[in-house]
Amino acid sequence: MNAVTPQSDRLTVSGVSKRFGATTALDAVSLRAQPGEVLTLLGPNGAGKTTLVEIMTGLRRADSGKALMDGIPVHLPEARRNIGLTPQRLDFPGTLTVADILTLVAAHFPNALSISETADRFLLTDLLDRRAAAMSAGQMRRVALAAAFIGVAGNLFLDEPTVGLDLESRRRCWDAVRAEAKAGALVIMTTHDLEEAARLSDRVAVIAGGRIVLDETPDSVRRRLGRVQIRFEADGDQAPLAGATFEEGRWVVDVADGDAAVRELVHSRIAFRNLEVGMASLESALAALLEEVRS
């Protein structure tokens, strides 16, 4: 991760709210970020991450509040010309080739990288002549990443950038994020993958229900959200552990301390079998966090 030295904020989000009909997507969100920082927005689907990225990049207007890039409202051209974006939803014109897409994007930036260098960086060299309509979802995602990075824009917004990517492509993305942040770029990512957030981020802001419920270091967030799920079979109708539910023939319980829960299960003298211990879902961890915040 990148060590951030104190300096003026590059991005300022103040009291941003957005509703879609009866649904509140964002509820008075405030956020600041600096050059050279990797800030990850972590949360389940529907938490408001994409809406916030769209507002921070000027693609959508907030109902209230403001978003500024270097003190300039983000919907103005002078703010948006310094932004590279990988959107969550991809829709390239089907008749354009990869080379066409990268050439078009590069033309908007004065210091853009070459097509060949960018293609090599994102494993696209053999695909430059392929039309968008003939590309797989993973290939489209790599083109979107290349388009975000080719302009050397200084501010990168990557909305679920590694969804659908194979392991090598994910590593290329992570390497590119680290390199750009080290060079002084602001990088804002969204993900629902806690491990990805921990690998790349200087800060992690957890979004749930349109609000930022946590804004801390990756290690701190991992400790707060690192719950464990225990699954096992046991006879009887009574839950062997507090909070356990019976799902598809097995008892399932999410706990903060997996070792302590297993010891409790052993000491209960209840006959159990086929014990499995793994990470709980992000949704489960966030539910526990929200309950903690409310109490």
Residue-range domain boundaries for the chain: 11-223, 228-279
Read off the pLDDT of residues 131-171 as tens digits, 9 standing for 90 and up.
Answer: 999 999 999 999 999 999 999 999 999 999 999 999 999 99
164 backbone φψ class: left, alpha, beta (φ>0; ψ -120 to 50): left
Q: Are 274 and 250 in contact (CB under 8 A)?
A: yes
With a cut of 70, say whether residue 13 has pLDDT above it: yes
DSSP per-residue codes, 217-283: -HHHHHHHH--EEEEEEESSSS-SSTT-EEETTEEEEEES-HHHHHHHHHHTT--EEEEEEEEPPHH
Read off the pLDDT of residues 234-273 as tens digits, 9 standing for 90 and up.
Answer: 987 788 888 888 988 899 988 888 889 999 999 888 889 9
Residue 290 confidence (pLDDT)? 67
> What SS3 state is found at 195?
helix
d(CA 178, CA 199): 10
What pTM, to 2 d.p., does this model score? 0.80
CA distances from 243 to 91, 149, 252 (A): 44, 46, 9
Q: Which CATH superfamily is domain 11-223 in?
A: P-loop containing nucleotide triphosphate hydrolases (3.40.50.300)
Q: Are 233 and 249 in contact (CB under 8 A)?
A: yes
